[in-house]
Amino acid sequence: MILIPLIVFLVVVVITCAFGYQHYVRPSRLLRQLTASSSDALPVQLTERHAKPKLSASRLLSMLGALLPVSPQDAAVAKEELSAAGFRSSSAVAVYYGSKICLAMICLLIASGLRQHLSSPVLRIVMPIGSAAFGWTANSFILGRLALRRKESIRLSLPDVLDLMVICSEAGCGLDQAILNVSRDLKLVHPAISEELTKVNMEIMAGKSRSEALRNLGKRTGEEEVKKLVAILIQTDRFGTSVSEALRTQSEFLRMRRRQEAEERAGKVGVKLVFPIFFFCLPSLMVVTAGPGMLQLFKNLFPMMNSMGH
């Protein structure tokens, strides 16, 4: 019985420490660095970084995930999924498996504390195993949802990206410079696609060909509209056709398709509202309209039936 309060206490302590570090410790450290002189603060910061490595939650999860033996195939699949969700650090795979282990252990401890209240011996065995399996697979489900959300964000930001690229192309910028300007100008509005375009520009500067960098963009995002855009850009670059005309046509197509999807969703609203209206609105409407009449009927009918029986 003491296990559940202990787990709740540890979770509250961790959340409180993370909140205090994020909102009080980091701002005060930043203010101390700003007040100090730049010539003195930089060597001190470097020496502190080399002397005392930060022991953060991601570092702990990375150390825990490194203990788990993972095959190269599974690590490659996990890295691809993490890249689609926007996590591309060198320790992302280790942190991912560490979080899976940590969540599975927490679910196992909670289920072990609750198994005493179960009367069935079968449930006492199945519940900890099922809870551990749920904790192990929950991260994969969350990661998939994050990847889908990122793909949706990239897809919805494509018309703005294409319009800005058309403006840059008509102003005399090359394709590389247009990609760089779009990634810089849309950093606050559409951070996901801005990050992807920045990576494309960095790959081109590192020596990769433009077509290879654009193909890598389509592979990283996994979005079909991005792959179509990549194919259009590669074809225009290969055959020397007008980039602005191709981008303008693609932008108009994406906006028209978004409008058609909105009209399709609006057409489905009537069918989807049948069940909420039937199960939630109709009973309350019947209570409001027919309730007083039914109460009066019961009030007058029951005494009349009793008098007739006597």
Q: What is the 3-state secondary structure (H, E, C) of 214-265?
A: HHHHHHHHCCHHHHHHHHHHHHHHHHCCCHHHHHHHHHHHHHHHHHHHHHHH
Query: 149-170: per-residue pLDDT in tens?
Result: 888 888 888 888 888 888 888 8
Residue 254 lies in a domain: yes
179 CB burial (10 A radius; 0-12, 13-18, 19+): buried
The tally of domains found in the chain comes to 1
Query: 195-205: per-residue pLDDT in tens?
Result: 888 888 888 88
Query: CA-CA distance, 55 to 75, in Å (whole number)?
Result: 24
CB 244 within 8 A of CB 170: yes
Residue 224 lies in a domain: yes
Residue 277 lies in a domain: no
Cα dihedral sign, 113-117-121-122:
negative
Q: What is the 3-state secondary structure (H, E, C) of 88-154?
A: CCCCHHHHHHHHHHHHHHHHHHHHHHHHHHCCCHHHHHHHHHHHHHHHHHHHHHHHHHHHHHHHHHH
Residue 8, pLDDT above cutoff 70: no
Residue 181 lies in a domain: yes
Residue 175 lies in a domain: yes
| Count of Cβ atoms closer than 10 Å to residue 84 Cβ | 21
| Domain housing 216 | 151-265
* H or E element, residue 51: helix 38-51
CATH number, domain at 155? 1.20.81
Query: 71-93: per-residue pLDDT in tens?
Result: 888 888 888 888 888 888 888 88
Query: DSSP letter at 52?
Result: S
Residue 34 lies in a domain: no
Q: 0.85 exceeded by the pTM?
A: no
Residue 90 lies in a domain: no
pLDDT band at 54 (very low <50, low <70, confident <90, very high): low
Question: SS3 of 190, please?
Answer: coil
Residue 194 lies in a domain: yes
